[in-house]
Copies of this chain bind each other. A is one copy, B any other.
Amino acid sequence: MSILASKIDVAILGATGAVGQRFIQLLENHPWFRVGEVVASDRSAGKPYGEAARWVLAGSPPADVAAMTVLPLDAQLNSPIVLSALPSDVAKTLELELAARGHVVSSNTSSHRMAADVPLLLPDLNADHVALVEVQRRNRGWSSGALVTMTNCTSVALMVAFKPLLKYGIKQANVVSMQAVSGAGYPGVASLDILDNVVPYIGGEEDKLETEPRKVLGSFNGEAIDFLDTVISAACNRVPVLDSHLVCASVGFENVPSLEQIKADWLAYQGHELARDLPSMPDPVIAYSEVADRPQPRRDRDAGAGMTTTIGRLRECNLLDVKFVALSHNTIRGAAGGAILNAELLVSRGYVQGVHVGEAQVMG
């Protein structure tokens, strides 16, 4: 991993929210990026970040960011890279405007995920999809700007588990999630709703979980993404857990592999070669736990600095072919960390204008 001559400024949109805070936390010692601008709604704009943001993570915001003045949503930004954790209604137009103005936008928001010319990226799985940016620029008449998106946080563990098994033909899957409260942002889930309780519904989530993996795991044909032909049925639940989403999956294959083959494929998976040397690349991409009752949210979410997906309990299924449990950290791997990884990929592939980071340097 290379160290750039000077770090690249990054603007954080929605900087005071829960994912915005994770962006700031994860960038504190980032080798390529530094927080250049913090942007939030009118309620916060004009105040020092440390005063505008009710910090909900452990500890305190970094002192340098705490001292920055929060910019309004319509500010002219100087940072070449924009990380967006905006609410989806605001993101809908603002992210496009910023890309049109030449910024490379790595968004964590759902607004543009399914647009045909917007890459939906998990670089460890589909780094090659980033080339869709060229189609996007052509379509939209953008020269230096771009918009790439991070997936829904819940589907990450599922997609990571599926990727090394695509060669067997994944026909169908049933997946039930148990999701952390941080997935709903802050203030998000009321304590009166979740203490001593489970809420068996999360608006819009099942649809995302059934749809997004087909794009992420699809293939880029040079012009567009050919979606993976598979059927996923999802049920999503909120549980009294702070961070990380757990999924119980059953999978049916065209060519059924043995349990041993599956484990071997998972353990051997190195991630997409274009992403391997990125600073935030999960290491390992997949961990497999042989402990009977793992993965567990609290004990496995921080594996690989919150970027590794942990799988366990692989076993035969008497309905489809196999069952397993998979877990990834929703606000790191499934949100802020993922969007940072996407931005790293854009830099590495030369999509950020004016950042002269030859591949040799970045990967040196």
**Cβ A296 vs Cβ B200 within 8 A:** yes
Chain copies in the assembled complex: 4
- Among the stretches A88-96, A189-197, A344-352, the one at the interface with B is A189-197
Bitwise, A313-330 to B at CB < 8 A (1) or not (0) is 100011110010100000
- Interface size range on A against B: 35 or more
Task: Check A181/B198 contact, CB under 8 A, given A190-B190, A210-B318, A319-B233.
Answer: no
**Cβ B317 vs Cβ A233 within 8 A:** yes
Among B58, B187, B197, B302, the residue within 8 A (CB) of A241 is B197
**Cβ B197 vs Cβ A235 within 8 A:** no
Chain A residues engaging chain B, CB cutoff 8 angstroms: 18, 56-59, 172-174, 176, 178, 181-182, 186-201, 210, 231-233, 235, 237, 239-242, 246, 248, 250, 292-300, 302-303, 312-313, 317-320, 323, 325
- Sample of 26 A–B contacts (CB below 8 Å): A56-B193, A58-B298, A58-B299, A59-B299, A59-B300, A174-B174, A176-B176, A178-B178, A182-B192, A187-B187, A187-B193, A188-B191, A189-B191, A191-B191, A191-B193, A192-B242, A196-B196, A196-B298, A198-B239, A199-B293, A200-B313, A233-B317, A233-B320, A233-B323, A237-B246, A240-B241
